[in-house]
């Protein structure tokens, strides 16, 4: 049997044994090709991982199909629960290793990996383990019949996860998919596959039966498209760009009309009213855009400030932005690390140049940070107009545009002036304003006096072109279940 383990060390000397194979039917196997995984802080290759094409996708789906109908479908809820809790325990045991892997191939600060992504991922698995034995239908009072519903697993589920939160997005998919009794194929991003492959090894150690969980890496047009089109796959869960989401829907429609949930892009507004606690508003709007290097679908990339406090706000926000700790992701004091890839770096810089060309003012930042890796200065645009590209399109980087508003009606109109509806935040000390604006905003999540605060217990997802379906909380379960109605004649005459 081939050995796909690569030994490496971080720059600070943390030793890692990286698994690089495809995980199919509880074995690490070769793919059709290999993909280099690059450390974005230095632009250096970490290792090469095996990559799937249609043939390996077929193998993974067949393994999942066999597992589901070969016993997993009938497994007791307590069996699923025990395995999920064991997986969470193993993740906790190897928490530091997972954090180091996440920082190595994604570039996020080690403090964020260690204190946010890894604990949140473990909490998500444990949260959904608690639901395993609480999924049930209803008895419905019908004349002459005993009628009841069963909530049953879909069967084989395909999950396609992004590169910005590799471990956490994996947990967001695995939690509800496993607890509802499905067999799963996960396609990780080719940019950040290493933590997902580590979870595959832990799932095998936890005792999951062969084929229940399969994790593959591959390019979207090859592996992702094959998974979305496969007729044995009953559901696709996708997190990523709106453009790719359209392709996923088309593939699902052209194949077997599989169930689809999409968590897509955003251009989330942060609204700062004149009565806001200014220091807190600056802290949270800064966190809203620069958290995870701006590589966050719900990033508050448009800040609207009531005109009476605009000048004071932008002066203090500039100071806050310029004091952002940008640098080595292995440094525990780093807040903003590099962008994930050269392609993403170039894309963000092109948006900055477009903003300048359209007449916006670079209030601070706008340049490369350092002389190696994919670092960009925290960037603030002022003098922006609603129709500018930097106000309409998702940049997915540490770039924010700040504009004025007059009153509630004015800011609601501006907030809705995009195709997206993923999230928004409101900053005010007036509870009436908070409730009024929250009710008016067309967004899946509305934060009040905070931003980018997420929990496994609360649903997350978008309106409009930010997608449909919900991640997290009880609401996510319905995405991985189908409802059957059973009607038993108990003596009714026709």
pLDDT at position 347, please? 98
Q: Judge whether residue 279 has pLDDT over 70.
A: yes
pLDDT at position 2, please? 73
Confidence of residue 337 (pLDDT cuts 50, 70, 90): very high
Report the pLDDT averaged over residues 337-356. Answer: 98
d(CA 25, CA 223) in angstroms, rounded, equals: 17
Beta pairing, strands 5-9 & 183-188: unpaired
Question: Could you tell me which of 37, 44, 16, 48 has the C-alpha nearest to residue 374?
Answer: 44
Question: Could you tell me which of 38, 63, 342, 7 has the C-alpha nearest to residue 216?
Answer: 63
Q: Judge whether residue 492 has pLDDT over 90.
A: no
What share of the chain in percent tops pLDDT 90? 98
Write the burial class of residue 466 (CB in 10 Å: 0-12 exposed, 13-18 middle, 19+ buried): buried
d(CA 123, CA 128) in angstroms, rounded, equals: 9
Interval 67-97: pLDDT, tens: 999 999 999 999 999 999 999 999 999 999 9
pLDDT at position 234, please? 98
Which CATH number does 269-456 carry?
3.40.309.10
Which CATH number does 5-264+467-484 carry?
3.40.605.10
pLDDT at position 266, please? 97
Active-site residues: which are they?
263
Report the pLDDT averaged over residues 28-42. Answer: 97
Q: Which residues of 364-398 are buried (b: 16+ CB within 10 A; e: fewer)?
A: bbbeebeeebbbbbbbbbbebeeebebbebbbbbb
Q: Judge whether residue 132 has pLDDT over 60.
A: yes
Beta pairing, strands 156-160 & 235-239: parallel
Confidence of residue 493 (pLDDT cuts 50, 70, 90): low
The CA-CA-CA angle for residues 16, 18, 21, to 5°, reads 175
β-bridge partners, 159: 186, 237
Domain ranges of the chain: 5-264+467-484, 269-456
Confidence of residue 494 (pLDDT cuts 50, 70, 90): low
Interval 421-479: pLDDT, tens: 999 999 999 999 999 999 999 999 999 999 999 999 999 999 999 999 999 999 999 99
């Amino acid at each position: 049997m081939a050995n796909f383990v690569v030994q490496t060390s971080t720059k600070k000397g943390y030793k890692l044994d990286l698994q690089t194979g495809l995980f199919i039917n509880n074995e690490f196997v070769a793919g059709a090709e290999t993909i280099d995984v690059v450390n974005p802080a230095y632009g250096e290759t970490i290792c090469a991982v095996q990559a799937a094409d249609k043939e390996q996708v077929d193998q993974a789906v067949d393994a999942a199909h066999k597992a589901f109908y070969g016993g997993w479908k009938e497994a007791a809820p307590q069996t699923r629960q025990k395995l999920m809790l064991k997986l969470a325990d193993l993740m906790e045991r190897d928490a530091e290793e997972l954090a180091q892997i996440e920082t190595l191939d994604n570039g996020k600060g080690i403090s964020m990996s260690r204190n946010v992504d890894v604990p949140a991922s473990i909490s998500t698995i444990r949260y959904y383990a608690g639901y395993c034995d609480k999924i049930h239908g209803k008895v419905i009072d019908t004349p002459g019949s005993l009628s009841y519903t069963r909530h049953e697993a879909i069967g084989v589920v395909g999950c396609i996860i992004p590169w910005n939160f590799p471990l956490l997005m994996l947990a967001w998919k695995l939690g509800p998919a496993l607890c509802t009794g499905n067999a799963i194929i996960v396609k990780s991003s080719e940019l950040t596959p290493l933590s997902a492959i580590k979870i595959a090894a832990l799932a095998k150690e936890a005792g999951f039966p062969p084929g229940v969980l399969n994790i593959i890496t591959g390019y979207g047009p090859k592996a992702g498209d094959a998974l979305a089109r496969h007729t044995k796959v009953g559901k696709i869960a996708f997190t990523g760009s709106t453009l790719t989401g359209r392709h996923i829907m088309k593939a699902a429609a052209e194949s077997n009309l599989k169930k689809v949930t999409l968590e897509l892009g955003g251009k989330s507004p942060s609204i700062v009213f004149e009565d806001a606690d200014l220091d807190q508003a600056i802290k949270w709007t800064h966190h809203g855009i620069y958290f995870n290097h701006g590589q966050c679908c719900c990033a508050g990339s448009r800040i609207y400030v009531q005109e009476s406090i605009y000048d004071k706000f932008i002066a203090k926000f500039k100071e806050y932005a310029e004091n952002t700790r940008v640098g080595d992701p292995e440094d525990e004091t780093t807040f903003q690390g590099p962008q994930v890839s050269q392609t993403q770096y170039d894309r963000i810089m092109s948006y900055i140049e477009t903003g300048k060309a359209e007449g916006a003012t670079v209030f601070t930042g706008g340049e490369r940070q350092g002389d190696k890796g994919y670092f960009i200065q925290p960037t603030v645009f002022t003098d922006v107009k609603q129709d500018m590209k930097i106000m309409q399109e998702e940049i997915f980087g540490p770039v924010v545009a700040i504009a004025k508003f007059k009153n509630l009606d004015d800011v609601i109109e501006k907030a809705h002036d995009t195709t997206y509806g993923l999230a928004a935040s409101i900053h005010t000390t007036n509870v009436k304003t908070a409730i009024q604006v929250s009710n008016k905003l067309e967004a899946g999540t509305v934060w009040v006096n905070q931003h980018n605060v997420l929990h496994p217990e609360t649903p997350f997802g978008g309106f409009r072109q930010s997608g449909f379906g919900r991640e997290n909380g009880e609401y996510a379960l319905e995405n991985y279940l189908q409802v059957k109605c059973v009607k038993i004649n108990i003596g009714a005459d026709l």
